[in-house]
Amino acid sequence: MADVPARPDVVIVGGGIIGLSTAWQLRQEGVEVLVLDPAPGTGASHAAAGMLAPIHEAYWGESHILRLNLAASKAWPAFADELGVDFVDYRRNGMLMAAYDADDKALLDNLGDLHEQEGLPVERLRRRECRSREPLLAPGVRGGVYSPLDHQVNPRRVVAELLNRVPTLAVSATEVTGNQVVAEDGLVMACQQVVVAAGAWTGRLLGVPIRPIKGQILRLSGPEGLLRLPVRGVVRGSSVYAVPRSDGEIVVGATQEEQGFDTRVTAGGVYELLRDVLALLPGLSEIDLVETWAGLRPGAPDNAPIIGAGDDGIVYATGHYRNGILTAPITAAAVSALVLGRKPPVDLAPFSPNRFHTDGGPSSGAEQPLSGVPG
Ligand code: GLY
């Protein structure tokens, strides 16, 4: 673990993958940084399956999110390389989306129209083609879409490696301004710039409209290579996915539940996931169920992340919803650029924290200039 600086230039509130990646990026630029989190790496990053899937997470009406996600996907090879490709289990073998019945196939065809409109490189597959790509799929699967650009990583390994590289302090922030954090034990920390990357807890800490969206998830363990590809399925209208790791672990997720800060694993949640994944991939029924878990995704009202400088002087990096693991490297690069007074590598206007203003304040997404921390 890196030494805790006595007088950090930048304090980051939140030690999930977004806060830790940003801290690491800033450290590489010579900035003294400190991450505050009562339990770093145990939130949404610990639950996440690690799909790096700009295409299979693309939805109608969200072109700006798709563009960010595609840029994030391009940033991953270098990010994984620096952390250790094998250690973080970064695998670029594409992802298959499969339809279970005829109605599910109609839904997939509709997404296929979106892929076409956006010019995304996907292959539409007939049922037999699906099974030759992934033999574990049920014989009745109606068809699928293969995306060569969607990849995967082990988020727990990424977080473990980042925690070795950045200093953290196990405290909760209770009050935050652009250049000061008050922690729950009364500790006051002044710095040149505060970055808030507190995930689902951002809404509680500050007045931004972030809500928790619960995801229950399972971990199965079987022979290495049992499942060749990450598979995203639509099963009788429900979404399910199975992401294989190199060591035989298969992560199955995830429910999508809006009920506040509830992280209970429920019988109904586990049942739904097993019902759908075993309908799609019946061969998984004999392997071990080794973990059940639930995490809270941070979601903004428009499902887009919040990245940028707020009117309050705080730099925000939150609200990454279903794509926090995918967008960690690009968010880290963008936030570091902002903090250091440089132009971010992507257009942050659609992701401005000021876009929710209803009082006639800046809602156009225009970024507030920051003075810049000397790097
Ligand atoms: N990215 C997948 C999920 O949020 O469940």
Q: What is the pLDDT of residue 366?
A: 42
Confidence of residue 363 (pLDDT cuts 50, 70, 90): very low
Confidence of residue 369 (pLDDT cuts 50, 70, 90): very low
- Residue nearest (by alpha carbon) to ligand 1 atom 3: 322
Q: Is the pLDDT of residue 81 over 90?
A: yes
Q: How far is the CA of 2 from the centre of ligand 1 (A)?
A: 30
Q: How far is the CA of 375 from the centre of ligand 1 (A)?
A: 34
Percent residues over pLDDT 70 in the chain = 95
pLDDT for 197-210, tens place per residue?
Answer: 999 999 999 989 99
Ligand 1 atom with minimal separation from the 57 CA: 1
Decide whether any atom of ligand 1 lies within 6 Å of the 51 Cβ: yes
Q: What is the pLDDT of residue 370?
A: 64
Q: What is the pLDDT of residue 185?
A: 83
SS3 80: helix
Q: How far apart are the first and last CA of the chain?
A: 22
Decide whether any atom of ligand 1 lies within 6 Å of the 27 Cβ: no
Q: How far is the CA of 191 from the centre of ligand 1 (A)?
A: 34
Decide whether any atom of ligand 1 lies within 6 Å of the 215 Cβ: yes
What mean pLDDT value characterizes the chain?
94
Ligand 1 atom with minimal separation from the 323 CA: 1
Q: Is the pLDDT of residue 361 over 60?
A: no
Q: How far is the CA of 3 from the centre of ligand 1 (A)?
A: 33
Q: What is the pLDDT of residue 3?
A: 83
| Sign of the four-CA dihedral 201, 33, 42, 328 | positive
In testing the pocket of ligand 1, which one of 243, 257, 277, 322 has its CB within 8 Å of the most ligand atoms? 322
pLDDT for 83-105, tens place per residue?
Answer: 999 999 999 999 999 999 999 99
- Residue nearest (by alpha carbon) to ligand 1 atom 5: 254
pLDDT for 16-28, tens place per residue?
Answer: 999 999 999 999 9
Q: What is the pLDDT of residue 372?
A: 62
Which residues are CB-contacts of 58 (< 8 A; sequence separation ≥ 6)?
66, 69, 111, 114, 115, 118, 120
Percent residues over pLDDT 90 in the chain = 91
Question: Mean per-residue pLDDT for 40-68?
Answer: 95
Q: Is the pLDDT of residue 148 over 80?
A: yes
pLDDT for 1-17, tens place per residue?
Answer: 788 887 899 999 999 99
- Residue nearest (by alpha carbon) to ligand 1 atom 4: 322
Q: Where are the alpha helices (DSSP H) in the chain?
A: 17-28, 44-47, 63-83, 102-117, 127-133, 155-165, 202-205, 267-280, 324-339
Decide whether any atom of ligand 1 lies within 6 Å of the 54 Cβ: no
Question: Mean per-residue pLDDT for 236-261?
Answer: 96
Q: Is the pLDDT of residue 367 over 60?
A: no
Question: Mean per-residue pLDDT for 219-244?
Answer: 97
- Residue nearest (by alpha carbon) to ligand 1 atom 1: 322
**CA distances from residue 334 to 22, 101, 192, 337 in whole angstroms, order as listed:** 9, 42, 18, 5
Decide whether any atom of ligand 1 lies within 6 Å of the 253 Cβ: yes
Q: What is the pLDDT of residue 358?
A: 66
Q: Is the pLDDT of residue 365 over 70?
A: no
pLDDT for 315-353, tens place per residue?
Answer: 999 999 999 999 999 999 999 999 999 999 999 999 999
Q: What is the pTM of this model?
A: 0.94
Confidence of residue 362 (pLDDT cuts 50, 70, 90): very low
Q: What is the pLDDT of residue 357?
A: 77
pLDDT for 254-302, tens place per residue?
Answer: 999 999 999 999 999 999 999 999 999 999 999 999 999 999 999 999 9
In residues, how long is the chain?
375
What 8-state DSSP symbol labels residue 32? -
> What residues are paired with 113 via a beta bridge?
none
Q: Is the pLDDT of residue 126 over 50?
A: yes
